[in-house]
Structure 1
Amino acid sequence: MVPLRDVNPVRITPYVTYGLIIANILVFIYEITLPPPVLESFFRTWAVVPRDLTMVLEGTRVGSSPFPEWLTLISSQFLHGGFLHIAGNMLFLWIFGNNVEESLGRIKYLIFYIGCGVLAALTQWFFASGSDIPSLGASGAIAGVMGAYILKYPKAEIVTLIPLGFFLPVARIPAYFFLGFWFVQQAFNGIVGLNAPADIGMQGGGIAYWAHAGGFVFGAILGPVLGLFNDSKESRVEQL
């Protein structure tokens, strides 16, 4: 199932969502200008390397970077491993982010987004703390957005392409079914893929399923805590 859009209108301009999309695209443009050895070094510096994070938490200094290792929990959210990777992430962010931004308000939404990304990365680290494979991408943060969305708009409809061989019929699917199916798929893939190898690079690599599932769960928790079910002041002002 490939989402095209949701049919839930927004009443404010989602500047934060647009800004996040632009930031991710700009970083990706920079990535594709780097030769492979430099790109790998770039990923190892700014993506989350679970083994390095574990060593730092144990009190061992890692590498020569002047920046603290925990900063990668944020910087990794703006890195992507290929065109399909960033295209899929930005599509989901564009579809679901605007409504969540409207519900939380821009400042809380940005805190929510970054927080979900950090917690998602820590979830992946928890299940693979000794891994030397860089973990990167906005998927965990966007999964958090989806976790909040399914709570706020469970009956919203997602206009979706359903691949059936050479045919791509368009259907409207309830959000709770679409996102619920996605979450179960990520959790299942995480369970069966705990020991699966992965590589970094622009055209391939493993998928951090535990980060997806963790981001979804934390999004469903943090959203209500930050006022998901309250009308944001920004929304009320812009409706006047």
Structure 2
Amino acid sequence: MFVPLHDGVPLRFLRAAYVTWGLIALCVGLRLLLALGARDGGDIAVMAGFGTIPAVLLGDAHLPAGLAQAPPWLTPVTGIVLHASLAHLIGNMLFLWVFGDNVEDAMGHLRFLVFFIACGVAGALLHAFMNPESSQPLIGASGAISGVIAAYLMLHPRVRVWGLAFKWVPLRIPAMYALGAWILVQLLSALLDEQRQVGWWAHLGGLGAGAILTPLMIRRGLPLFGRTA
């Protein structure tokens, strides 16, 4: 497992990555609100009401009338900014903090926001299709951030990234190795994890969407795969 900490790649086109910062602030703020609602079970109601529940989205299941919050078709979007725990939040936000600014720089503010949401939706939909009878809500930005990872890997594969391997070993290695290993773990976990407590398929859906959308959404003439312009 590799947790990124810093990449050192400067912005070329933007003054600041306002959308990345805004998404981090939104996710952190909502996690704090969920924590405040945990005392009376309000956090569970919010996660069920705004998270993607495959059996509700694709099947005939329904939430109790008092629990339903967002229409099922909208939950692949609303669930992106909710996180179940502090560890879930920190892990996702570290990836977004390190890699999101450079992807936003390559796309521009608005296109990056559209890209982020599209990857999150793709991840939620693939998760739902692979687990159509599940009644567990899917929440978190993991699918969207997986799309960001795919974009970063296509834009800066040779950049050396500082991070922690196995959560405590400091390393500085090329992104292609660190993120490539992360992608391999997601694929193997999706295929081998029978308990399915983690949305592995959401990660893969976001990765696939990111790989498809990146060439379409980056600035014209911007090279991919470390090539020079």
**Distance apart, 1:66 and its partner CA:** 6.5
Instruction: State whether residues 50 and 70 of structure 2, in contact with CA within 8 Å, keep that contact through their aligned partners in structure 1.
Output: no
- Show the counterpart of 1:212: 203
**1:3 aligned counterpart, secondary structure:** strand
Q: 1:29 to 1:62 in 2, by over 3 A?
A: closer
Q: Which amino acid aligns with 2:217?
A: L
Q: Which amino acid aligns with 1:196?
A: Q
2: distance between equivalents of 1:229 and 1:123? 30
**Distance apart, 1:4 and its partner CA:** 1.1
- Show the counterpart of 1:181: 181
- Show the counterpart of 2:102: 99
Q: Which amino acid aligns with 1:4?
A: L
- Show the counterpart of 2:158: 155
- Show the counterpart of 1:137: 140
1:48 to 48, 52, 55: 52
1:8 aligns with 2:37: no
Q: 1:110 to 1:145 in 2, by over 3 A?
A: same
2: distance between equivalents of 1:207 and 1:228? 34
- Show the counterpart of 1:202: none
- Show the counterpart of 1:39: 43
2: distance between equivalents of 1:61 and 1:169? 46
1: distance between equivalents of 2:204 and 2:170? 27
Deviations 1:156-194 (A, max 9, x none): 111122349xxx44322111111111011001101112x
Instruction: State whether residues 114 and 141 of structure 1, in contact with CA within 8 Å, keep that contact through their aligned partners in structure 2.
Output: yes
- Show the counterpart of 1:234: none
Q: 1:173 to 1:37 in 2, by over 3 A?
A: same
2: distance between equivalents of 1:179 and 1:91? 14
Q: CA RMSD in A?
A: 1.9
Aligned-pair identity in percent equals 35
- Show the counterpart of 2:225: none
**Distance apart, 1:41 and its partner CA:** 1.5
Unaligned 5+ runs, structure 2:
223-229
**1:55 aligned counterpart, secondary structure:** coil
Q: 1:180 to 1:30 in 2, by over 3 A?
A: same
1: distance between equivalents of 2:163 and 2:25? 24
- Show the counterpart of 1:203: none
1:85 aligns with 2:88: yes
Structure 1 stretch displaced more, 94-103 or 173-182: 173-182
2: distance between equivalents of 1:177 and 1:36? 44
**Distance apart, 1:38 and its partner CA:** 2.3
Instruction: State whether residues 148 and 228 of structure 1, in contact with CA within 8 Å, keep that contact through their aligned partners in structure 2.
Output: no
1: distance between equivalents of 2:111 and 2:19? 10
1: distance between equivalents of 2:87 and 2:62? 35
Deviations 1:88-146 (A, max 9, x none): 10010000000000000000000000000000101111110110011110111000000
2: distance between equivalents of 1:123 and 1:157? 31
2: distance between equivalents of 1:207 and 1:221? 24
Q: Which amino acid aligns with 1:2?
A: V
1:7-26 aligned at under 5 Å gives the runs 7-11=8-12, 12=14, 13-26=16-29
2: distance between equivalents of 1:173 and 1:67? 42
1: distance between equivalents of 2:146 and 2:209? 9
TM-score scaled to structure 1, two decimals? 0.84
Instruction: State whether residues 103 and 228 of structure 1, in contact with CA within 8 Å, keep that contact through their aligned partners in structure 2.
Output: yes
Q: Which amino acid aligns with 1:131?
A: S
1: distance between equivalents of 2:70 and 2:164? 43
Q: Which amino acid aligns with 1:101?
A: E
